[in-house]
Structure formats: structure tokens, C-alpha cells
Structure 1
Amino acid sequence: MTLRFRHVALIGKYQASGARAQCGAQDNVMEGIGAFLEAQGCTVFVEQSQGADVEAGPYKSLTVEEIGEECDLGLVVGGDGTMLGIGRQLAPYGVPLIGINRGRLGFITDIALDTYQATLIPMLAGEYEEDHRSLMHAQVIRDGVSVFDALAMNDVVVNRGATSGMVELRVTVGRHFVANQRADGMIIASATGSTAYALSAGGPLLHPAVPGWVLVPIAPHTLSNRPILLPDEDEVSIELVGGRDASANFDMQSLASLAIGDRVVVRRSEYRVRFLHPKGWSYFDTLRKKLHWNEGGS
């Protein structure tokens, strides 16, 4: 086999629940995958925060920045949350990512743990489908100053407080005022995030090849406030006009408290995440499998 990728960062949690299920009593899943990669001729590294969990681990640990500079592939073992976190961090370096699913749904970590060896062998040799996903760049603007700055791959969500009533939000797209909306909140989701919170709030599925976002109100007061598909070249601004204890979260992994008058401004980031999938991969295959289509009676 002629290797396409020689320096591989193995990213995931050591000693997680079920970590010994596939590799015997003495080895955990991550070490088993690492040994497999080495047998293929790869030099294996682990993310530094994870390497610290294995005192006698066999692999050199690198910071995210070092992974970006020294590795030509990231192999992510876990669920979509793990992939979201590392995807945002490695996007500026252009390192492609492959996901082995140890979570539940696995929309973006799509290789099954029990078949990873047979699947990875041709991929390591360069037989794969490449899939690019744009990131969202979000800021919280207060009195004209950015007080919070984050990247998101799935979504940016403005939410009411847990014990408060609806919030009132002023929505602007580009230079155009859209509406003042009263709701429990608002979701701006990428195509990647259209299968996440936005879907449960009634939003549409968006194919990742479509350069757009979906704007989805959460439990709107006016039922005519419906989800809308927007071009991702436009800046979207959501201003908090009324409501208490509101917040904005980014991929459900970072949080900013909002005050009246704050604006959450979302733009398309200059960075994209590179996903690699097995040859013949199709987004529609993922939807059928993860959303259990075709399982009903005739």
C-alpha cells in the first residue's frame, strides 16, 4: 500500500466508557487504533490534553497547533461533539479529518468502530471522498465593541433564560431589516447543523453543498414566523430587544450572556473543515441511516 497520509493525529478520549470493548482486556480502543495505524506505516501522535491521560502511552503528544503544523491527517474517535471541537481548532491549518463513531448519531463521525480497519486501509492510500464544510464566525457586539468571539460549525443559538419568558429579537440580514420576533430563541444553523438543534425546532435539512444557512425561530409567538434559508454570504444580526437572562451559545460548547441591546453577528468564516469519507460515500446514505428512513411499513 502506498500511503497518502504518514503523520496521523489520533484524537479522542482515552479510558472512556466501553474503551476496552474492541481491543481486549489490556488495550483500549485508542491504543488499538494506534497500533493498527502503525502497522500500516503511519507515525501516530495524540492530542496533548489526551496524551496526558495515559502516563505510559506509546505515542508522542502534540498541541493542537503542533498537530496543525506537523500532521497530514486527524483521525477523530468519538461522537459529533468531539469532531465539532477539534474541527474548529484545526480548520485554520487545513488538516483533513476522518471520524470513527463512538457516539450516538454520528452525522459527521461516520465510520463504524467495528469496521474501521477495512474502511481505513483504502482511505489511507488516498481512496476517499472529500467534503468541505464552512464555519460560522460569530461575535457578540456590545456598545459597538466585540465582547465575545467564536467559531461554530453547527449553529449559533440565542436562547431565553431558563426561568424567564420569551425574548424579543430584532433580526437583520445584510443591510435589510427582517422582523422583530418574539420567541423562546433563534437558531442560525449551517448545513452541517441543519441535522442538529435546528431540525428538532422544525427547520429543513440542508445539503452540505448548498452555500447557505437556515434561520429557525424556537417556539415563536407568531406561527407565521417560519424557518428561512439564507445565503451564507450575508451577515446575520440578532439584537436582543427584550427579555431577561438571555444567552448565546456556539455549537453548544461555549456560552455568552447577553444584555439588552447586544447584537449577535454571524458571518461566514474564511476557514473550512475538511472531512474525508469512504469512497462512494453519499450524504443521502447518512440521512437514511441516521434518521431511520425506509424503516416503516409499505
Structure 2
Amino acid sequence: MSRRFRHAALVGKYHAQGIRGVLDEIARFLIAQGLEVSLERETALNTGLADYGSMTPAELGQNCDIAIVVGGDGTMLGIARQLARFNIPLVGINQGRLGFITDVPIGQFAEALAPMIAGDFEEERRSMLEGGVWRDGDMIFEGLAMNDVVVSRGATASMVELKVDIGDEFVANIRADGLIVGSPTGSTAYALSAGGPILHPGIGGWVLVPIAPHDLSNRTIVLPDSREITIEIVAGRDASVNFDMQALASLLHGDRITVRRSAHQVRFLHPLGWSYYATLRRKLHWNAGVA
């Protein structure tokens, strides 16, 4: 059944050149469509757009029923983590090249958004990763990721040795530059450049990708996302962990990173006719077949 939205959150890559005019144009378009518009607070402060209300991400989550995100995939990742617990659908408008998750070109935002606001859209849900770092029995860091959790060596240090357990089962000790635990969304990010496979977003799984492993037999594994992964720092100096853009450096030997499926999912809305495979063709330059 078609439905209209009531209150739109507007989030932008506020340090991008020309973003103020773009956001103002989109806000005015949304208001003309009958929606109330509130800007994310940092977006409003950094662009000087004072004609619309501004709210923190938590306030947007409590008051809005759709979020329009203008920028690139990094901008989307940042706000998606904060809004996922509110179950708000997100629409990505890309300022530059086509993104994997910001798929509406800026020049086509009006023709794409009008039918979506009226209720005509494709919807999909993406899984997320959550976990933390444990030291001497205490959690010292907690993170949420849409793309991946990456454990890596220090900038000037040699490789790290990592002990990997899945659930209660020991998997291996891996000596490498690092290790990526990627979601299906993250399988087309760092994990792909490190030699991992592409996972369709509908798959309930993760990729476990060693980064430049010492033993060439250490290969990527595709895992179900139903069990917790534990990665322990066995050897190596200045190792760090990143949950998307949230980082903790200077991990110590014996520190354990745990990763599990989050209870929250991210909701994306796309224009009717949107295709995941068409996105792959365009983004990865698979030029064979229909554009």
C-alpha cells in the first residue's frame, strides 16, 4: 500500500564544496512535497542553513520517518549506524560518482524522490556488525559497523599474529598484516580490495579476509552470521581495530576483539526498478550486457 512520509531528516557531507546550495534545494523540494524538514545538527552548523530546524541524530530518529542522505557512501555509513536502532529508512543521494549505497545521482533527485515520497520504492535491509574489545575481563571499547571490522598491524610494525575462534571452535592462528570481518555490504569495500568475494546483501553471512597473510594457504572464508567471532592479539606491536570509522589503537597482547551480528538492520529505499546487479555493473565497470 502506498504511503506518504511526514517528516524528513536531511543529512549532508557538510565539508563538500557546494553542499549548502544542494541541501537548500533538496529541502525546498521536500517542503513543496508536503514534508517537514529537519537538518542533522552538524550539517546545519557547518553549512549555516538556518531556515530549517536542526536536531541531533537521536532526535532525528525519534521525530522523523525518512532520512535523505547527501554525499557519498562514507556519509551514509556514519549516519546509518546512528539511525539503525530507530528503524528509519534512508535514501542516498550521491554528489559524485555512483556509490554502492548512495545510488541516486544528484541531478536526478527530484524525479527519483517524488514517487518515493508517494510510496513507490524498492526497500531492502542490510545487516550490521557489533562488538567490542576486551582486556583483562573488561570491555574497553564498543563499536557498531555496517561495512567491516578490521584488525591491523601498526604503521611501522611487522605483521601481527591473530588467534581466531568462531563460537567455541578454534579456527587458526593467522600471521598477516591484518584481518577483515566484512558484512555483505562491506564485501564490496576493503574486503574486496584484499581479495575477498562479493556477497549479495540478502545472504546471512560474513567474509573473513586475511590481509597479506604470511601463509598463502590462509584464504578468505565465508561464514554464517549466527556465531560470534573472537580475534585475540597474540603477537605484534601497535595493532589497532576499526569498526567502520571508529578506531582503537595500541592494542595489547591478549586483547580480544569480539564480533557478532547486530540486532539492528539498516533500511534503504531505492527508486522503483533499482537493481543490485546494475549497481555492481556500473560501480565495478562490468561493461558487458545492458547498462
**TM-based fold match above 0.5:** yes
CA contact (8 A) 1:246 1:258 kept: yes
Displacement of 1:53: 2.5
Q: Which residue of 2 aligns with 1:71?
A: 64
Q: Deviations over 1:135-159 (max 9, x none)?
A: 1112101111110001000000000
1:1-298 correspondence runs (5 A): 4-14=4-14, 16-19=16-19, 28-55=21-48, 57-294=50-287
CA contact (8 A) 1:148 1:256 kept: no
| Distance change (3 Å), C-alpha of 1:111 and 1:175 | same
CA contact (8 A) 1:188 1:214 kept: yes
CA contact (8 A) 1:14 1:54 kept: yes
- Distance in 2, matches of 1:140 and 1:103, equals 35
Structure 2 unaligned residues grouped into runs of 5+: none
- Structure 1 SS opposite 2:131: strand
Displacement of 1:15: 6.1
- Distance in 2, matches of 1:225 and 1:155, equals 19
- Distance in 2, matches of 1:202 and 1:105, equals 22
- Distance in 1, matches of 2:3 and 2:188, equals 34
- Distance in 1, matches of 2:12 and 2:250, equals 29
Cα-Cα RMSD: 1.5
Q: Which residue of 2 aligns with 1:24?
A: none
Displacement of 1:57: 1.9
CA contact (8 A) 2:24 2:49 kept: no
Identical aligned pairs, as a percentage?
Answer: 61
CA contact (8 A) 1:137 1:266 kept: yes
TM-score by length of 1: 0.93
- Distance in 1, matches of 2:148 and 2:246, equals 10
CA contact (8 A) 1:80 1:103 kept: no
TM-score by length of 2: 0.95
Displacement of 1:104: 3.8
Structure 1 unaligned residues grouped into runs of 5+: 21-27
- Distance in 1, matches of 2:15 and 2:239, equals 37
Aligned residues: 288
Q: Which residue of 2 aligns with 1:25?
A: none
